[in-house]
């Protein structure tokens, strides 16, 4: 696998990001799309058991936060870090938060690894209205679980928060 720039070290206008894989089967692309949706629903629903099933045993999770549990390494540590973040957010009271995932871009693909990125918006709904709390980009590495025909799972998940004026 050749080295591709990541969102952390380039701008989205870098033409190297658009040398898309030519032979990614639709089933694999669709599986990655579904994995993103399953992750967002599990996080928003605080379904930590379902979340854990989406990760490899050795996942690396980095949410671009200064927190003692991050970056997390391993399935249990990643789930615990997400539990800590979501339960803390739930204490805000009266709000429903949704992760909206879009703009899936496959950066590189082999038979057992896919590198991709997506845009994420964190939206909060309260009785008085809706607001966007955060926009970010997730850069992910997916690997197959349980052999060459196994399901795709998150092996790395790195969040880069959008901050006005930075780049």
Question: Kindly report the CA angle at 66 between 63 and 72, in degrees rounded to 5?
Answer: 50
Structurally, how many domains does the chain consist of? 1
> Which tops the pLDDT comparison, 148 or 144?
144
Domain that holds residue 46: 20-93+109-115+139-161
Residue 124 falls inside a structural domain: no
Host H or E run for residue 34:
helix 26-44
Which pLDDT does position 12 carry in this prediction?
A: 55
Q: What is the pTM of this model?
A: 0.81
Domain with residue 148: its CATH number is 3.10.450.50
pLDDT digits (tens, 9 = 90+) for 18-77: 555 667 888 999 999 999 999 999 998 889 999 999 999 999 999 887 777 889 999 999
Per-residue tokens: 1:
């696998």
Which of the four pLDDT bands, split at 50, 70 and 90, describes residue 17? low
Task: Give the whole-angstrom CA distance, residue 79 versus residue 167.
Answer: 30
Residue 34 falls inside a structural domain: yes
| pLDDT > 70: percent of the chain | 78
Which pLDDT does position 1 carry in this prediction?
A: 44
Range of weakest confidence among 10-19, 90-99, 142-151? 10-19
Give the closest residue to 89 by CA, choosing from 129, 112, 59, 122.
122
Residue 151 falls inside a structural domain: yes
pLDDT digits (tens, 9 = 90+) for 77-98: 999 998 887 766 655 566 788 9
Task: Give the whole-angstrom CA distance, residue 27 versus residue 134.
Answer: 31
């Amino acid at each position: 696998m050749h080295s591709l720039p990541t969102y952390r070290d380039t701008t989205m206008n870098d033409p190297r990001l658009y040398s898309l894989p030519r032979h990614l089967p639709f089933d694999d692309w669709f599986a990655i799309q579904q994995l993103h949706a399953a992750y967002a629903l599990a996080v928003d629903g605080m379904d930590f058991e379902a979340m854990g099933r989406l990760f490899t045993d050795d996942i690396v999770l980095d949410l671009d936060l200064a927190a003692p549990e991050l970056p997390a390494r391993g399935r249990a540590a990643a789930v615990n870090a997400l539990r800590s973040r979501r339960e803390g957010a739930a204490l805000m009271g009266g709000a429903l938060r949704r992760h909206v995932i879009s703009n899936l871009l496959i950066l590189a693909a082999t038979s057992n690894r896919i590198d991709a990125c997506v845009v994420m918006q964190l939206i909060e709904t309260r009785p008085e209205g809706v607001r966007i709390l955060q926009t970010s980009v997730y850069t992910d590495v997916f690997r197959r679980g349980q052999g060459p025909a196994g399901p795709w799972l998150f092996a790395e998940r790195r969040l880069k928060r959008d901050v006005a004026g930075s780049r």
